Chain A
Amino acid sequence: QLQLQESGPGLVKPSETLSVTCTVSGGSISSSSYYWGWIRQPPGKGLEWIGSIYYSGITYYNPSLKSRVTISIDTSKNQFSLELRSVTAADTAVYYCARPPVGATLDAFDIWGQGTMVTVSS
C-alpha cells in the first residue's frame, strides 16, 4: 500500500528558505505516470495547491507562488521535495504531499501524507 511521509524543519526564520521532503513507500515514485503534488494549509484556514511534479521532472506551480517555489524529484531515493524561498509568517502552514488517483493528473489527490507543520518565526 502506497504511503507518503513528509519531513521538514518545523521552524524557519523569516527571509530564509523552507525545505520539505516527501518520502514515498510501498511503490516506486517513477513506476507510473503520476503528478506528485504539494498542498499547504495555514492554521485554521483552507487548502492551497503549491505545485506538482511529474516523475520525469516536469513541474507546474501555483502562479501566486511560482517566483519563490522549486519542486524537485529524486527517483533514486523515492522522494520529491519542496523549496520555498524568502518565507514570511504567511507561509506558516501544514505542508502536505499527495498523489492523484489513477488516470488523473494534477486535478485531484487521493493519497496524502499526514502533513508536516512549518512555522515561520524569528
Chain B
Amino acid sequence: QSALTQPPSASGSPGQSVTISCTGTSSDVGAYNYVSWYQQHPGKAPKLMIYEVSKRPSGVPDRFSASKSGNTASLTVSGLQAEDEADYYCSSYAGSNNLVFGGGTKLTVL
C-alpha cells in the first residue's frame, strides 16, 4: 500500500482538462511544500513534470499545472493531447529525510 493515495485511472478527450489528485496526511503533503509529479510512458523512466508543488522544470509545457490544498495535491493537464497518455505519480517529502510516492494514476486520452 502506497503512502499517498491516487485514483487508479483518469481520462479525458483531446483538448479537455483533467485533474489527478494525490492525498496524503498532515505529516507529508500537508506539512511540506515539496510535492512532485512525474509522467511515465510504458518502458520509460519517469519524467519530472512538477516539483515544489507547482514549479515546472524547463521544457515542461505550461499545460501542466499543479496545486495543493491541505493534505491533497492536484495535477491538472489542460488541452489534453494524445502524448499525455501515461502513468502519473506524485511524491512528497515526509519529514525525517524520507520521501514517499503515490500508487500512480493511468491517464487515458479518449
Binding between chains A and B: yes
**A residues lining the B interface (CB < 8 Å):** 39, 46-49, 52, 60, 62-63, 96, 101, 104, 106-110, 112-115
* Contact, CB under 8 Å: B101 / A48: yes
* Contact, CB under 8 Å: A107 / B48: no
By CB atoms of chain A within 10 A, which of B89, B99, B102, B104 has the most?
A: B99
* Contact, CB under 8 Å: B45 / A113: yes
Chain B contact patch, size range: 20 to 34
Q: In chain B between 24 and 78, which residues have their CB closer than 8 angstroms to a CB of chain A?
A: 32, 34, 36, 38, 45-48, 51-52, 57
| Bound CA–CA A108/B89 (angstroms) | 12
- Given contacts A101-B48, A109-B48, A112-B46, whether A60 and B97 have CB atoms under 8 Å apart is yes
Verify if B10 is at the interface (C-beta below 8 Å from A): no
Task: Report chain A residues within 8 Å CB of B18.
Answer: none
* Contact, CB under 8 Å: A47 / B38: yes
| Bound CA–CA A46/B97 (angstroms) | 20
Tell me which of B2, B51, B100 contacts A108 (CB under 8 A): B51
Of chain B, the residue at the smallest CB distance from A58 is B97
Tell me which of A46, A52, A96 contacts B103 (CB under 8 A): A46
